């Protein structure tokens, strides 16, 4: 029998001075006299979609063995602590990311992001008349995200909004600026600033005056709700007190790190025209965005998120892993062993960032399990061999328990040229959306 001193609504917020802090799922949110197992048995699924450009070195990506006895490949080795909740899916293809016929050659970097989450061949245009397809994250958001403060959360780490015109042969920069489309003609912006994301999740501060005031105060957003926290904690059981304390510690730590970044980037009161709060260090930046995604999932502020971890034709360098060369230039390896080694290091590095997200989710309690148990995270690219700009077989894996609907610890190999859209449809099926059609999908993947 589950009995607590108080009963809290699931959508409980701590409010004060322009901020609203949502609470994670607590035992006290289960009505008194209700067995916890009955409520916890139907947890809310979270869906995360992570994109990386320029494909992968497939010889170092694809595990040799199939089934449950496979060993993680070199590029996937950072996933070892989560192997039992990972499914590597091989031989998927995004044919719609390739040329669609005469006059449609080139443009693979423009098509790849726009196809990743919908399997729809985009309209070839350098103008404003863009057209692609509604993406899987937005289909999910319309179905399972309408009773959360944010139906979906779109994240990135590289600035794309300032690019206009054509970013690839025949294709508008719009196609390379996002992986999320609300409708076939409505692309969504990806946010790269952790401070802006934090303020969207927890309160005001998105305008210049508020940002300056916050930097000058150097006070946590939680200071505004301290009294409410104290009153709340007095009425909670021991488990809930610990859970709330841990959650608010996470909020405070993320804000502290953002404030440190802002202090480094802002030496005077004058506010730059672009948002502040973006770390110079790519590892720190990526991890902050991963933590914000996990925090949004934990507080049930959103249940759907997409993350563009790098942009197509990215010129980011990776000196921290011994690759001082630009990402895009390295991806055109021409089968040069030295470049293939560098690209493998980049592949492994990006997988390690996803492993960081999985670790965060695994260490956050959510009802009768963890956030990782109740999440499905898809990671992959729309390219395979980046030197050839081909679109199969794709480097892809999924991770998480999907609320008991996905069994990990497997390498599943499908027939060659199996549509990647089948896996996208499968993620929707795991969320209970079984009647959705995506792009060139021919059905769900029953073995995932």
Query: Using one digit for the tens of pLDDT, what is the confidence trace for 422-435?
Result: 999 999 999 999 98
More confident residue, 197 or 18: 197
DSSP assignment of 260-308 = HHHHHH-SSSPPPSSPS---SSHHHHHHHHHHHHHHHHHTTS-SEEEEE
pLDDT at 328: 96
The model carries a pTM of 0.82
Q: Taking the CB of residue 234, how many other CB atoms lie within 10 A of it?
A: 10
pLDDT at 280: 84
How does DSSP classify residue 151? Answer: S
Three-state DSSP state, 436: coil
pLDDT at 269: 37
Residue entry with tokens 């050839």: 388
Alpha carbons 1 and 72: distance in angstroms, whole number: 43
Task: Please enumerate in sequence order all residues whose Cβ is within 8 A of that of 152, keeping only pairs 6 or more positions apart, or say none.
Answer: 137, 138, 140, 141, 145, 180, 188, 302, 304, 305, 306
- Residue 384: both structure tokens together: 């395979």
The pLDDT of 247-255, averaged and rounded, is 75
The pLDDT of 181-210, averaged and rounded, is 81
Answer yes or no: is pLDDT of 392 > 90. yes
Burial class from Cβ neighbours inside 10 Å (0-12, 13-18, 19+) for residue 294 reads buried
pLDDT at 358: 98
Answer yes or no: is pLDDT of 32 > 70. no
pLDDT at 9: 63
Instruction: Reply yes or no on domain 43-192+278-430 having CATH 3.40.720.
Output: yes
Query: Using one digit for the tens of pLDDT, what is the confidence trace for 99-145?
Result: 886 667 789 999 999 999 999 999 999 998 999 999 999 999 999 99
Answer yes or no: is pLDDT of 168 > 70. yes
DSSP assignment of 68-127 = TT----TTTGGGGGGGGGEEEEEEEE-GGGS--STT--S-HHHHHHHHHTT--PPP--SS
pLDDT at 19: 58
Q: Are strands 46-51 and 375-380 parallel, antiparallel or unpaired?
A: parallel
More confident residue, 258 or 79: 79
| 8 A C-beta contact, residue 345 and residue 56 | no
pLDDT at 11: 55
Q: Taking the CB of residue 381, how many other CB atoms lie within 10 A of it?
A: 28
CA pseudo-torsion sign 280, 283, 287, 290: positive
Answer yes or no: is pLDDT of 221 > 70. no
Q: Are strands 171-172 and 181-183 parallel, antiparallel or unpaired?
A: unpaired
pLDDT at 13: 57
Query: Using one digit for the tens of pLDDT, what is the confidence trace for 368-377?
Result: 999 999 999 9
pLDDT at 162: 55
pLDDT band (50, 70, 90) for residue 240: confident
Task: Please enumerate in sequence order all residues whose Cβ is within 8 A of that of 9, keeping only pairs 6 or more positions apart, or say none.
Answer: 29
More confident residue, 199 or 339: 339
Task: Please enumerate in sequence order all residues whose Cβ is within 8 A of that of 89, keeping only pairs 6 or more positions apart, or say none.
Answer: 396, 397, 398, 412, 414, 423, 445, 448
Q: How many CA atoms lie within 13 A of 269 on its CB side?
A: 4
| 8 A C-beta contact, residue 391 and residue 403 | no
CA pseudo-torsion sign 279, 284, 286, 292: negative
pLDDT at 355: 98
């Amino acid at each position: 029998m589950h009995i607590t001193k108080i009963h809290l609504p699931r959508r409980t917020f701590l409010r004060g001075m322009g901020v609203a802090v949502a609470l994670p799922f607590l035992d006290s949110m289960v009505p008194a006299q209700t067995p916890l197992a009955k409520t916890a048995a139907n947890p809310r699924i979270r869906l995360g979609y992570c994109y990386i450009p320029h494909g992968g070195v497939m010889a170092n990506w694809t595990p040799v063995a199939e089934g449950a006895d496979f060993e993680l490949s070199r590029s996937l080795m950072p996933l070892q602590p989560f192997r039992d909740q990972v499914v590597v899916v091989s031989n998927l293809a995004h044919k719609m990311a390739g040329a669609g016929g005469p006059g449609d050659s080139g443009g693979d970097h423009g098509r790849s992001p726009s196809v990743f989450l919908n399997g729809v061949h985009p309209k070839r245009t350098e103008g404003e008349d863009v057209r692609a397809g509604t993406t899987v994250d937005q289909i999910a958001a319309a179905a399972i995200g309408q009773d959360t403060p944010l139906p979906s959360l779109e994240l990135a780490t590289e600035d794309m909004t300032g690019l206009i015109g054509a970013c690839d042969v025949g294709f508008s920069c719009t196609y390379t600026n996002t992986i999320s489309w609300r409708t076939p003609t409505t692309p969504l912006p990806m946010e790269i600033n952790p401070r802006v994301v934090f303020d969207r999740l927890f309160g005001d501060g998105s305008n210049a005056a508020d940002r300056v005031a916050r930097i000058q105060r150097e006070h946590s957003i939680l200071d505004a709700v301290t009294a409410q926290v104290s009153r709340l904690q007095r009425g909670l059981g021991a488990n809930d007190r610990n859970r709330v304390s841990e959650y608010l510690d996470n909020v405070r730590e993320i804000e502290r790190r953002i404030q440190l970044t802002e202090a480094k980037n802002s030496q005077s009161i004058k506010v730059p025209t672009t948002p502040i709060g973006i770390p110079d260090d790519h590892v720190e930046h990526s991890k902050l965005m991963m933590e914000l995604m996990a925090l949004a999932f934990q507080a049930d502020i959103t249940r759907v998120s997409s993350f563009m971890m790098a942009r197509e034709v990215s010129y980011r360098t990776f000196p921290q892993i011994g690759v001082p060369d630009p990402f895009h230039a390295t991806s055109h390896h021409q089968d040069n062993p030295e470049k293939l080694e560098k690209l493998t290091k980049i592949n492994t590095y990006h997988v390690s960032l996803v492993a960081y997200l999985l670790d965060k989710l695994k260490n956050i309690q959510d009802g009768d399990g963890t956030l990782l148990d109740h999440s499905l995270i898809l990671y992959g690219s729309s390219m395979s061999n980046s030197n050839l700009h081909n679109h199969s077989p794709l480097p892809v894996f999924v991770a998480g328990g999907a609320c008991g609907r996905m069994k990990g610890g497997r390498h599943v190999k499908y027939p060659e040229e199996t549509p990647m859209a089948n896996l996208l449809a499968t993620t929707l099926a795991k969320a209970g959306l079984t009647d959705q059609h995506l792009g060139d999908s021919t059905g769900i993947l029953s073995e995932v």
